[in-house]
Amino acid sequence: MHKRLYIPGPVEVRQDVLDKMATPMIGHRTKEASALQQSISEKLQKVMGTKNKIVLSTSSGSGLMEGAVRCFTAKKAAVFSIGAFGDRWYKMCTANGVPADLFQSELGQITTPEMIDNALKTGEYDLITITQNETSTGIRNPMEKLAEVYKKYPDVIVCVDTVSSMGGDYIPVDELGIDVCITSTQKCLGLPPGMSIASVTDRAIEKAKTIPNRGLYFDYVELVKFVDEKPYQYPSTPSESHMFALDYQLDRILEEGVMNRYERHVKLANIVRDWARKNCELYSDPDNLSNTVTCITNTTGIPFAELNKAMQAKGYLISNGYGALKDKTFRIAHMADTTEEEINSLLKDLEETIAELKAQTKA
Ligand SMILES: *Cc1c(COP(=O)(O)O)cnc(C)c1O
């Protein structure tokens, strides 16, 4: 039996989108390939609210995250972490010999404007990384407030992880002054895992050209060169299957409308939060909750493994906590093409399952 996915990636993919993955291959150096990549790029610019260049990567988002700190840091990176994925960005710096400092918030809390200001006013850093939506704790950074601060430092390259939010949450890249905005296909965009996307400013690329040892596969200069000169191609052989499906799915996303999609995600998030307040507790800062994934403190007394097993038998997959929160919390994703009806039926079955397991424990 297929278990419907309510984990924070990969997400459930609609059958018509899956079918597009089976489109016959084309030559990757043909005009057809260029037209496909150009079409994807122009649609993504609309979804992301940017005029910046779009690069694709046949890798999950981690590849472009690693490439970003390597390509755009000349002095030192300031990594602002609000959980596991921010910490990962710091590990990518150290693993690549990129000088970096880690600025961690308490789990479940945001990066504050003061943290960014205090770091940047030292003049030590020429790149910052921010996690817009931290999937491990279900918390969302207040980007408008953070942007007010980092915009005071125009020489700093701003890299933002929107892997678990772009295509669901509202993230106007150009308004927010984001130089490098990274996302993956398998979360809010509603596609299979295996491709990732970044928007990148010209000034970031000009800077990268002066930086040695950028690597090759995730070198943004190389990726942009193939967009500019070929044009709209990929340095090696891209996952064409993803590109066919992405081009198709972006039409669906634009048909729904970026703001409507955002509002649907907010609505779903509110339903899940209400359920969590009634049946358990919310883990993170209530003023900055994620619109795409909810992290719930498990106060049911039932070990999550047991709950998960019972839910799987009913055809659902939800997620345990991440890292340090593995046993303490569980997570429900409300991403991509999920409907209100689907979320309501998941939550109803979850509530019933908790009641059944509690009754068994008592018996
Ligand atoms: C999933 C996720 C990642 C990792 O992305 P991959 O596409 O799996 O490499 C990074 N950051 C956040 C916030 C995520 O949710």
263 with 246, same domain: the answer is no
Its domain, for residue 199, covers 15-255
Q: Is the pLDDT of residue 261 over 80?
A: yes
pLDDT given for residue 361 in this prediction: 82
Q: Into how many domains does the chain fold?
A: 2
Question: Could you say which of 231, 255, 279 is where a domain stops?
Answer: 255
Question: Could you say which of 255, 286, 316 is where a domain stops?
Answer: 255
Ligand 1 centre and the CA of 119: distance in Å? 25
Ligand 1 centre and the CA of 241: distance in Å? 21
- Report pLDDT digits (tens) over 213-229: 999 999 999 999 999 99
Residue by residue, what is the 3-state secondary structure of 99-157?
CEEEEECCCCCCCCHHHHHHHHCCCCCCEEEEECEECCCCEECCHHHHHHHHCCCCCCE
Q: Which of the four pLDDT bands, split at 50, 70 and 90, describes residue 362?
A: confident
Asked if 100 and 135 count as a contact pair (C-beta separation under 8 A), the reply is: no
230 with 272, same domain: the answer is no
5 lines ligand 1 (CB under 6 A): no
207 with 261, same domain: the answer is no
Asked if 220 and 84 count as a contact pair (C-beta separation under 8 A), the reply is: no
Best of 58, 164, 188 to mutate for ligand 1, by most ligand atoms within 8 A of CB? 164
> Vertex 174, ends 173 and 176: CA angle to 5°?
70
Best of 92, 135, 141 to mutate for ligand 1, by most ligand atoms within 8 A of CB? 135
211 with 141, same domain: the answer is yes
**Other C-beta atoms lying within 10 Å of the C-beta of residue 192:** 18
pLDDT given for residue 290 in this prediction: 98
DSSP-assigned beta bridge partners for residue 294: 332
pLDDT given for residue 363 in this prediction: 74
354 with 304, same domain: the answer is yes
By residue count, the chain amounts to 363
183 with 87, same domain: the answer is yes
Identify the burial level of 210 via C-beta atoms within 10 angstroms of its C-beta, where 0-12 means exposed, 13-18 middle and 19 or more buried.
exposed
pLDDT given for residue 257 in this prediction: 98
Percent of the chain residues past pLDDT 90, beyond the cut:
98
50 with 19, same domain: the answer is yes
40 with 141, same domain: the answer is yes
239 with 335, same domain: the answer is no
pLDDT given for residue 324 in this prediction: 86
Q: Is the pLDDT of residue 178 over 90?
A: yes
135 lines ligand 1 (CB under 6 A): yes
Q: Is the pLDDT of residue 246 over 80?
A: yes
Tell me the CATH number at 140: 3.40.640.10
- Report pLDDT digits (tens) over 103-144: 999 999 999 999 999 999 999 999 999 999 999 999 999 999
- Report pLDDT digits (tens) over 40-95: 999 999 999 999 999 999 999 999 999 999 999 999 999 999 999 999 999 999 99
Ligand 1 centre and the CA of 184: distance in Å? 7
pLDDT given for residue 166 in this prediction: 98
> CA–CA separation, 61 vs 186, rounded Å?
9
- Per the prediction, the chain carries an average pLDDT of 97
Half-sphere exposure of 183 (CA within 13 A, CB side): 27
249 with 273, same domain: the answer is no
45 with 194, same domain: the answer is yes
